[in-house]
Structure 1
Amino acid sequence: MNNLQKIGGVAALFEAAIYISAFVFFGAFWDYPVSADDAQKIIFLTQNQTILSIVNLTMYVAFGLFLAVLVLATHQRMKTKAPVLSQTASVFGIIWVGLVIASGMIATMGLGVVIDLSTKNADQAMILWVVINTIVEGLGGGNEIVGGLWVLLLSVAGLKIIELPKLLNCLGLFIGFVGILTVYPAEILTEIFGLGQILWFSWLGMIMLMNPQSNN
């Protein structure tokens, strides 16, 4: 059990690092020409295809793989004393894994298709780009309901069986609730969820590494 807990702790820290990297990249380096015409947007996407593909694979696919490990580790930690809550949380966790990985694959493959189509019809290419972005946002890029439910239920279980620090579980309740609220398309909610997840994943990862033995 201890090995999986430590691996889960490392996975949680990687999750936090990926969140931080995404915030830094899109906040400081990504300068998408929102007000430019379609031709300029296509040129920008073509010039930045490689870096954007790497970023999408990292913040979606790699994130999803680490998340799968963490979901298994947290389930193992809580399943004895909170079997129903732990199993329910894990269901939403695994669904989140699938949605996040699917988002990354659609974003990466879709970008290539858009760039190829742009050589024939730039207008259709930009319409397709909008559709792809909408799908990615709906699956997991801007909608954090499923992830919020996983964190919320995990935190409820932690409080119920006195597993993990109380403040960490309280933070998880807040983050989970905010994640559910992202059903309303407000960017501030997604940002709060993301920033909260950085703290939550970091804290959870350190706890799992320093105290791999469950209280169960």
Structure 2
Amino acid sequence: MNHLQKIGGVAALSEAIIYVAAFVFFGAVWDFPVNADAMQKFAFLADNQIILSIVNLTMYVVFGIFLAILVLALYERYKNSAPVLSQIASIFGIIWVGLVIASGMIANIGLAAVIELSIKDPEQASTVWLAINSVVEGLGGGNEVVGGLWVLLLSIAALKANEFPKILNYIGILIGFTGILTIYPSDTLTEIFGLGQIVWFSWLGIIMLVKPSKLPPSNKSVLSKAV
């Protein structure tokens, strides 16, 4: 179990790094010409297709793979001390994994499709691009309800099981509620959820690496007797 917990810790830290990289890329590097006409927008996308595809792959697909590992590791950690909550949380965690990975694949396939279509019909390509973005945002790019439920339930389970620092668990509950509130489309709520996740994933990952699991009281007594 300790080995899985350490792998889960690495996965959690990797999630935080991906979040930071995404914020930096879209906040400081990506300079999409919002006010340009359709031809200029698609020319920009065509020129930057490779880098945007890599970012989508990392931000969604790779993130989803690490998330799957973390979901399993946390379920193993909580399954005895908070069985019901850990099972329900894991269901939402697995659903979130699927939504995130699907978002990335749709984003990249859609990007290639609209760039090809824009050569023949830029206006139709704009309509298709808008539809693809709506699907990606609805699945996981701008809607964090499922992820919020996962974090919320895990944090409640951690409080019940006396796992992790209470401050971290309360932060997780706050982040979870924020994610659920993104059912109402809001860039501000989504950004708050993302920034909160950086803190939560980082802290969680460090603890899982430093303290892979708690030693049950019965095992402690056995060890003391043996010594």
| TM-score interval, normalised by the smaller of the two chains | over 0.9
Q: Where do 1:105-184 residues align within 5 Å?
A: 105-184=105-184
CA distance in 1, matches of 2:134, 2:21: 22
- What TM-score do you get using the length of structure 1 for normalisation? 0.99
Structure 1 portions without partners, runs of 5+: none
| C-alpha contact (below 8 Å) 1:8/1:69 kept by paired residues | yes
Quote how far apart the aligned CAs of 1:159 are: 0.5
Q: Deviations over 1:69-112 (max 9, x none)?
A: 00000000000011100000000000000000000000001100
CA distance in 1, matches of 2:11, 2:81: 24
Q: Structure 1: which amino acid aligns with 2:123?
A: D
CA distance in 2, matches of 1:55, 1:167: 32
CA RMSD between the two structures: 0.7
| C-alpha contact (below 8 Å) 1:100/1:139 kept by paired residues | yes
> Which has the larger Rg?
2
Quote how far apart the aligned CAs of 1:161 are: 1.3
Tell me the equivalent position of 2:54.
Answer: 54
| C-alpha contact (below 8 Å) 1:85/1:153 kept by paired residues | yes
Matched length: 216
| C-alpha contact (below 8 Å) 1:16/1:198 kept by paired residues | yes
CA distance in 1, matches of 2:133, 2:196: 24
Quote how far apart the aligned CAs of 1:119 are: 1.4
CA distance in 2, matches of 1:39, 1:201: 40
- Which is further off, 73-82 or 206-215? 206-215
Structure 2 portions without partners, runs of 5+: 217-227
Q: Structure 2: which amino acid aligns with 1:104?
A: G
What's the % identity of the aligned pairs?
A: 69
Structure 1's consecutive aligned runs of 4 or more residues displaced over 6 angstroms after TM superposition are none
Residues 196 and 215 (structure 1), Cα distance of their counterparts in 2 relative to 1, 3 Å cut:
farther
CA distance in 1, matches of 2:32, 2:183: 25
SS of residue in 2 equivalent to 1:125: helix
Tell me the equivalent position of 2:199.
Answer: 199
Residues 3 and 27 (structure 1), Cα distance of their counterparts in 2 relative to 1, 3 Å cut:
same
CA distance in 2, matches of 1:197, 1:126: 32
Tell me the equivalent position of 1:98.
Answer: 98
Quote how far apart the aligned CAs of 1:215 are: 5.5
Q: Does 1:74 align with 2:83?
A: no
Q: Structure 2: which amino acid aligns with 1:14?
A: S
| C-alpha contact (below 8 Å) 1:163/1:215 kept by paired residues | no
Tell me the equivalent position of 2:213.
Answer: 213
Residues 215 and 186 (structure 1), Cα distance of their counterparts in 2 relative to 1, 3 Å cut:
farther
SS of residue in 1 equivalent to 2:65: helix
Q: Structure 1: which amino acid aligns with 2:26?
A: F
CA distance in 1, matches of 2:157, 2:142: 26
CA distance in 1, matches of 2:193, 2:122: 35
Tell me the equivalent position of 2:19.
Answer: 19
Q: Structure 1: which amino acid aligns with 2:121?
A: N
Quote how far apart the aligned CAs of 1:214 are: 3.2
Q: Structure 2: which amino acid aligns with 1:79?
A: K
CA distance in 1, matches of 2:206, 2:36: 44
